[in-house]
Amino acid sequence: MGRKEVIQIHVGQAGVQLGNACWELYCIEHGIRPDGILENRDDDSWESFFSHTGAGKVVPRVVMIDLETTPIDEIRTGTYRQLFRPSSLLTGKEDAASNFARGYFGIGREMIDLTLNHIRLAAEDCNSLQGFIIFRAFGGGTGSGFTALLLDGLSRDYGKLSKVEYAIYPAPKISPIIVEPYNAVMTTHACMDTADVCFIFDNEALYNILARLLDVPRPTYTNLNRLIAQIGVNYQPPATVPGGDLAALQRAVVMVSNSSAVRIAWERICKKFSLMYAKRAFVHHFVGEGLEEEEFKNAIHNIKALSNDYREMET
């Protein structure tokens, strides 16, 4: 009996850039060259994430989507350009302008059918599809809005299959997006019933780990992404990227927990959301893209209720 397959979906700039780091690491771990040639024939564990095309070459079971072209163009011209099927790299003509409503109601609607069609093609290539892993950020317009729209479609078309998210939580230290609190609250509200499990990565915590503990004084997104990529539990010693900033180790440990400490992160984002919404700051940008203003109240109420649920667990 063959292994169960998983399709990975990378959405928006953060999701795509994180995907770049993940697939780089997968290839190193499984003995796959950047052109997709399989060098390690003794182990078949790669079959969950890669499909075999013949002639000793494998391709990722993946779909990458961004509403603008720059992050995916970097993959199309980068070291791993020969690894991916060109048809699995999907780009639109204009971005979501850091606006949840634009990703969900506006420009995102033009990409959703194409995206679901390519996911269907990837699913048809599987013998026993287990589910999907979605990589995205809460703060950007595509990561928040288009992912919410996509999860609606995946729930409709593949209701019984698992949908697991790796989501980047906003960090004011390294992000210039002022409306991140709106995007993060809106997408959490929209996806609460469509994602089965969500592993949340606090960019601020990752930034502090790199700066204080790993001697990286001014961490970039590449540093953050390579650290996150080390987290997908493995029986082998962690593989490291040649020339990267993480040292080779013989052992690694990851704690996966549903901790009530996440309440602090929700309260932080709710406070910023409420301060902005009290002044109706930038609300017209979201309403102008099709979001009803009532949804601001519904969303913040929902996330505050989530935060209160965690508070009750502590008492």
CATH number of the domain to which 182 belongs: 3.40.50.1440
Q: How many CB atoms lie within 10 A of CB 203?
A: 23
What domain range includes position 97? 5-252
> Which of 10, 99, 9, 5 shows the shortest CA–CA distance to 288?
99
State mean pLDDT over 215-240: 64
- In the three-class reduction of DSSP (H, G, I as helix; E, B as strand; rest coil), residue 313 is classed as helix
Taking 90 as the threshold, does the pLDDT of residue 35 lie above it? Answer: yes
Residue 301 belongs to a domain: no
Residue 285 belongs to a domain: no
- φ, ψ for residue 58, nearest 5 deg: -125, 155
- In the three-class reduction of DSSP (H, G, I as helix; E, B as strand; rest coil), residue 9 is classed as strand
Lookup: tokens for 83: 């690894």
Output helix, strand, coil percentages for the chain, rounded to the nearest 5.
45, 15, 40
pLDDT at 306: 85
157, amino acid identity: D
**Over the stretch 193-226, which tens digit does the pLDDT of each residue have?**
999 998 887 766 666 676 666 667 776 666 666 6
How many structural domains comprise the chain? 1
Taking 80 as the threshold, does the pLDDT of residue 25 lie above it? Answer: yes
Lookup: tokens for 153: 């479609």
Q: Which segment, 171-185, 214-228, 231-245, is predicted with the most confidence on average?
A: 171-185
**Over the stretch 258-288, which tens digit does the pLDDT of each residue have?**
667 778 888 889 999 999 999 999 999 999 9
Buried b (16+ CB within 10 A) or exposed e, 129-140: bebbbbbbbbbb
Q: Of all helices (H) and strands (E), which one includes residue 162?
A: strand 162-169
Decide if 241 contacts 260 (C-beta within 8 A): no
Taking 70 as the threshold, does the pLDDT of residue 255 lie above it? Answer: no
Residue pointed to by tokens 């599987």: 126
pLDDT at 308: 85
pLDDT at 44: 76
- In the three-class reduction of DSSP (H, G, I as helix; E, B as strand; rest coil), residue 188 is classed as helix
Lookup: tokens for 17: 């850039």
Residue 314 belongs to a domain: no
Residue 32 belongs to a domain: yes
pLDDT at 239: 61
Angle at 15 between CA 51 and CA 269, to 5 degrees: 145
Taking 50 as the threshold, does the pLDDT of residue 161 lie above it? Answer: yes
Decide if 194 contacts 162 (C-beta within 8 A): no
Q: What CA–CA distance (Å, rounded) separates 205 from 140?
A: 19
Q: What percent of the chain has pLDDT over 90?
A: 58
Residue 23 belongs to a domain: yes
Residue 21 belongs to a domain: yes
pLDDT at 1: 45
More confident residue, 308 or 134: 134
Residue 155 belongs to a domain: yes
Taking 90 as the threshold, does the pLDDT of residue 292 lie above it? Answer: yes
Buried b (16+ CB within 10 A) or exposed e, 274-284: eebbeeeeebe
Lookup: tokens for 85: 């099927």
State mean pLDDT over 83-96: 94
Residue 293 belongs to a domain: no
- In the three-class reduction of DSSP (H, G, I as helix; E, B as strand; rest coil), residue 78 is classed as coil
Q: Report CA 225 to chain centroid distance, whole Å.
A: 11
